[in-house]
Structure 1
């Protein structure tokens, strides 16, 4: 496999990480154990399958050109046993996941891991998959996970990760440049800067005059806490059918209402609070989930936490998302990820800390949806998947990230928070469930 040059956005994710502030995403997948030794068998299967999946064997190393750049190389002596870990039995999967999410991935190796967590009672187990954001975006990470599950269970789901591109798809952005191409690369960077300035101006206007909450912005500590909430997907569809809009509008409105309940319960108050949420939008072709590199833009939305009525919150979310969709993912105040394209690799290398801290100027929390298109009946070691919680990375200075995925008849909200700023993450998880129930009651009464 030839080295693949990291895109500017990949470089940004790679360079803003520090030893005290890891920047990897996670996926906590919970299984009903078919036998008491299911977790041990699952760990063995993961090691065997990881050896055969292209892409999992690559690490990230600096390159000479372009200056400050980096590329994915096949790691010599790659051994999946270094990445798959069977832990001692745990009593709470979310607590264990939070502790593991605060441990940085080893940068000298392929930046991924799978922690197999047997339950203390022996009737279930979980696997926490972690991938550095420079190694995979949400769709590619989901592709890796599905490729590691039992083969018969992933029919009709995402294609296996690491699918080799057809010759006509091999873009110049994924190969090491020839020194003679540098003048052209400079011209391209100058052209991209104009678009970046326009996007940055729109983001600055969107950030002006917004009240957030101290619970959502804090000094980064690196400590992590994880939790999750499950909502019935059939209830979400009932709300959508009664009110119009999209399923995603309902899911975002549930987050807004959950935040309102949580802030009021902890005594912070929700009056006038409209936190800015960045909602990533994948620019990846769904038919090519194994393509390398992050391909993201995003929508910026003010969550109507200050709205007292559930339906008013839902209508406000729908209107805001409609405005974003009209602007498109490549423009408007939410296209934050595209700013990375205008920064040269050397700027990412030496300005990572400044870039990391600038994120809090534009948004207060991340809400990321990770689709599992067509996935159903998933198993590992013949143990069926019960729940799947995506855990989005926390940017420095932000206290909460929300991941959302749907699996069969369940919507799983994965919550990752700064453990110091948000010691009551379980209260937010319960508040999300309560908000969903109230929305259903209002729409069906």
Structure 2
């Protein structure tokens, strides 16, 4: 018997998977322990909690009908401990062992014949800290759903319940009415898909981006932590949202980074795909991918940090006015309207055209402001990572938590061997914007 089906978008992420483009999300989360860390006890705690989460016990299974489709099925051989490992690092040979290890870790694809997740406990860090490194395949869920899954591993965090409002039992309907409704739904989805597809075609550009790169399995990670108070100060002075401020900071950082690489920045924009959740507040937070997106042209050609923020605000205001279901940024919605068989046949090839539509992905992962912990150890930092689209050099993920905004940088290791230069550019960009405020 088939389990819950993967959506067409879920299947698309499975089909995009390759040795040089693994489609898993990642997170490096550090914790401050009250005393010595017992790796065996913490690993056992994680395994016990993971075993209670249905999403983490399931693997994707191909179905005969509809052609190309798949469903989630309980893995009869599932053992949570098999997905969890412990690594002890040392700074004896590497000045920043966590970043170096995490860069190698994120590059390793998940085994798609098993439940699509992996957890690594990292000890041996300075100041009594330890880290949890989590991989979740994008076929399993999106960023919002990833936190809902990971929350089940934390202390005292209840998973959101699916809300099923009571409704009156409908009166019997004729077969003709049922068919009319079904045809109306199909026709509506077809019209929506045609509109998005038309926008995608209009938005396509020659693939000449300065941040595109040949495919590579090598990865480099960077961690950036920004004070939330400074970003809010900028927002109060110049208006907009905190997210607008972060995008303006990243635009300035990308400008600096391009210049340092000897590339022209003046008069140029870099187009970012900004995923938007469409699951709704009362939706199933543990469900699969429910995504749309905006395209935002980041003004990397503008040297004035305040003017960069104004241009970002204008672009995002225009996006929000149009809504997440329109425009070329709604590419994930279009993928959700394509039959699974077509994804099996052509998604990987179509994915190679990503640089024609956008230059990089910038996503925000929602994390609640409440203080979080695991095994009594307080969560200190959380750095998310978004998969690199084919031929992209850089992907950026953002997670606001407590008094900081954490930014995870993932780069194609061959194209960007020193992601630290981009990290430093982010810090310089935020300093310039704060000084101008």
How high is the TM-score relative to the length of structure 2?
0.91
Question: Where do residues 413-424 of structure 1 align in structure 2 (5 Å cutoff)?
Answer: 413-424=407-418
Are 1:118 and 2:123 matched, yes or no?
Answer: yes
Kindly tell me the number of residue pairs found equivalent between the two proteins: 422
Aligned to 1:141: 146
Pick the aligned partner of 1:381 from 366, 375, 379. 375
Aligned to 2:293: 298
Aligned to 2:230: 235
Distance 1:344 1:281 in 2: 22
Aligned to 1:94: 99
Distance 2:70 2:143 in 1: 21
Q: What are the Cα deviations for residues 242-274 of structure 1, in whole angstroms up to 9, with x where unaligned?
A: 001111100110110111111112222312221
Distance 2:365 2:118 in 1: 19
Q: What are the Cα deviations for residues 77-103 of structure 1, in whole angstroms up to 9, with x where unaligned?
A: 211011111113254322221211111
Contact residue 225 and residue 419 of structure 1 kept, 8 A: yes
Aligned to 2:171: none
Greater Cα shift, 107-116 or 201-210? 201-210
Q: 1:344, CA displacement in angstroms?
A: 1.2
Aligned to 1:174: none
Aligned to 2:199: 202
Contact residue 162 and residue 284 of structure 2 kept, 8 A: no
Q: 1:351, CA displacement in angstroms?
A: 1.2
Pick the aligned partner of 1:318 from 313, 316, 324. 313
Distance 2:99 2:305 in 1: 28
Contact residue 148 and residue 286 of structure 2 kept, 8 A: no
Aligned to 1:307: 302
Distance 1:219 1:437 in 2: 33
Are 1:396 and 2:390 matched, yes or no?
Answer: yes
Question: Where do residues 109-258 of structure 1 align in structure 2 (5 Å cutoff)?
Answer: 109-121=114-126, 123-151=128-156, 154=157, 159-160=158-159, 163=161, 166=164, 192-208=189-205, 212-213=209-210, 216-258=211-253
Q: 1:338, CA displacement in angstroms?
A: 1.2
Q: 1:111, CA displacement in angstroms?
A: 0.1
Distance 2:205 2:272 in 1: 14
RMSD across aligned C-alpha pairs, in angstroms? 2.4
Aligned to 2:419: 425
Q: What are the Cα deviations for residues 206-255 of structure 1, in whole angstroms up to 9, with x where unaligned?
A: 34479731xx1111112111111010000010000000111110011011
Are 1:282 and 2:277 matched, yes or no?
Answer: yes
Q: What stretches of structure 1 of length at least 5 have no aligned partner?
A: 170-180
Aligned to 1:412: 406
Greater Cα shift, 13-22 or 321-330? 13-22
Contact residue 165 and residue 291 of structure 1 kept, 8 A: no
Aligned to 1:24: 24
Are 1:437 and 2:431 matched, yes or no?
Answer: yes
Distance 2:399 2:85 in 1: 25
Contact residue 95 and residue 227 of structure 1 kept, 8 A: no
Distance 2:90 2:326 in 1: 45
Change (3 A) 1:109 1:208: closer
Q: 1:165, CA displacement in angstroms?
A: 6.0
Aligned to 1:346: 341
Distance 1:250 1:121 in 2: 32
Aligned to 1:4: 4
Change (3 A) 1:120 1:244: closer
Distance 1:185 1:72 in 2: 25
Contact residue 117 and residue 137 of structure 2 kept, 8 A: yes
Are 1:357 and 2:362 matched, yes or no?
Answer: no
Q: 1:337, CA displacement in angstroms?
A: 0.6
Greater Cα shift, 27-36 or 328-337? 27-36
Aligned to 2:68: 68
Contact residue 27 and residue 389 of structure 1 kept, 8 A: yes
Distance 1:380 1:315 in 2: 41
Distance 1:136 1:408 in 2: 24
Distance 1:116 1:220 in 2: 29
Distance 2:212 2:180 in 1: 41
Distance 1:414 1:168 in 2: 42
SS at match of 2:55: coil
Q: 1:2, CA displacement in angstroms?
A: 6.7
Q: 1:4, CA displacement in angstroms?
A: 0.8
Q: What stretches of structure 2 of length at least 5 have no aligned partner?
A: 92-96, 168-177
